[in-house]
Amino acid sequence: MSPRLTALAAALMLAGSVHAADQIKVGFVSTLSGPGAGLGVDIRDGFNLAMKQLNGKLGGLPAEVIVADDQQSPDIAKQAADKFLKKDKVDFMTGIVFSNIMLAVGPTVFENETFYISANAGPSQFAGEQCNPYFFNVAWQNDNLHEAVGNVVQEKGFKNVVIVTPNYPGGKDAVSGFKRYYKGKIAEEVYTKLGQLDYAAELAQIRSIKPDAVFFFLPGGMGINFVKQFVAAGLSRDTQLFAPGFSADEDVIKAVGAPMIGIFNSSHWAHDLDNPENKRFVADFQKEYGRLPSLYASQGYDAALMMDGAVRDVKGKVEDKGALRKALQAKHFKSVRGDFKFNTNHYPVQNYYLRVIGKDAGGRVTNKLMGTIFTNHADAYVSACQMK
């Protein structure tokens, strides 16, 4: 082939690469089995609900969502992501629940220049120094919900707190977030194994310390067992429990029931948040799945809407990564949490709310919105992010 022909072919290929795609593929890797499965299932169901409302299209183009279960293992998640990137050539990836898995899978996705829209995991690493043009988080930065609880515990005047969290990146973020706003004494930081289900030893330790409050961040089955065992051990009589929304949403409430009443928790979303998008989401989710949505479901739903808005904005030309990034950053969708915007590190700047678990008018145990903790709150790592 002569040099001129080669140049022509290259130009044609380049031109070809920005024509509109005829189909959008989404690779959805999430934790769908084991103790963390409740989270992944909620994100998936929220995502699927949005796809259903969009008639199976993203930005007007037919869309295919390929789902894989990572079994809460970074290795299995990496294998699934590799297949999505190399074989299926997906346009977006989403779904990962746990930050240790996100940190393991992230680099592969970014190298492949594929956009990852996180519907949950928001590790501090990807918000700060390792922030990446191909990473967006539509939910929150890990620290945020814990910062909000820290603020509440501080303002309510608690002085002696025990923190319980799993020993993994999300747990470390939880502790730093909580401590950023809670300034009183921390009697003990208890780190448990990720996925631990028996908390007898930790509860005995808490009993001997006699704190006035316990802040626990134990997502999924871990939190379910912790609260059940906490109440069974008789600790709830003298100790107030505080949690981020992760450990006190519908998945945990459904399993634990009445012992959850009175737990204060923080969230960027609530099922009784008053806006038309949220009302439609909550009503449709209940109709479709027969249960109340959790914050995870709202995040999955928003992730789908975010992709939809961005693909529509670039008129289906998802190959033009720069334009797509601008469209994602501009946030062309109405979130069920109300309005928010993306910061320069691709993490949200948004409100955080206080909720308390109680009985609603129908006698059902659920979360009730109490008030706003932070308005237009950004994460603490954005200044370290040099987005290239």
Contact 344, 382 (CB under 8 A): yes
Which one of residues 86, 159, 183, 193 is an interface residue with another protein (CB under 8 A)? 193
Sign of CA dihedral 62, 68, 72, 73: negative
For another protein, the closer of residues 1 and 200 by Cβ is 200
Closest contact distance (angstroms) between CB of 364 and another protein is 18
Site string for another protein, 138-167 (x = CB under 8 A): -----------------------------x
Radius of gyration of the chain (CA): 21
Closest contact distance (angstroms) between CB of 66 and another protein is 17
225 lies in the binding site for another protein (CB under 8 A)? yes
30 lies in the binding site for another protein (CB under 8 A)? no
Rounded distance between C-alpha atoms, residue 377 and residue 388, angstroms: 24
Instruction: Report in angstroms the alpha-carbon separations of 366 from 261, 362, 374.
Output: 8, 10, 22
For another protein, the closer of residues 59 and 177 by Cβ is 177
For another protein, the closer of residues 31 and 335 by Cβ is 31
Rounded distance between C-alpha atoms, residue 177 and residue 223, angstroms: 19
Which one of residues 26, 41, 127, 260 is an interface residue with another protein (CB under 8 A)? 41
DSSP state of 223: H
Interface residues for another protein in 166-185 (CB under 8 A)?
A: 167
Rounded distance between C-alpha atoms, residue 204 and residue 208, angstroms: 6
262 lies in the binding site for another protein (CB under 8 A)? no
39 lies in the binding site for another protein (CB under 8 A)? no
Which one of residues 8, 10, 197, 283 is an interface residue with another protein (CB under 8 A)? 197
Contacts by residues 187-190 (CB-CB < 8 Å, ≥ 24 positions apart): 187/160, 187/161, 187/162, 187/211, 188/162, 188/163, 189/162, 189/163, 189/165, 190/162, 190/163, 190/164, 190/165
200 lies in the binding site for another protein (CB under 8 A)? yes
Q: Which residue has the tokens 């519908």?
A: 250
Q: Which residues bind another protein (CB under 8 A)?
A: 32-35, 37-38, 41, 69, 167, 188-193, 197-198, 200-202, 204-205, 207-208, 221, 224-225, 228-229, 231-235, 255
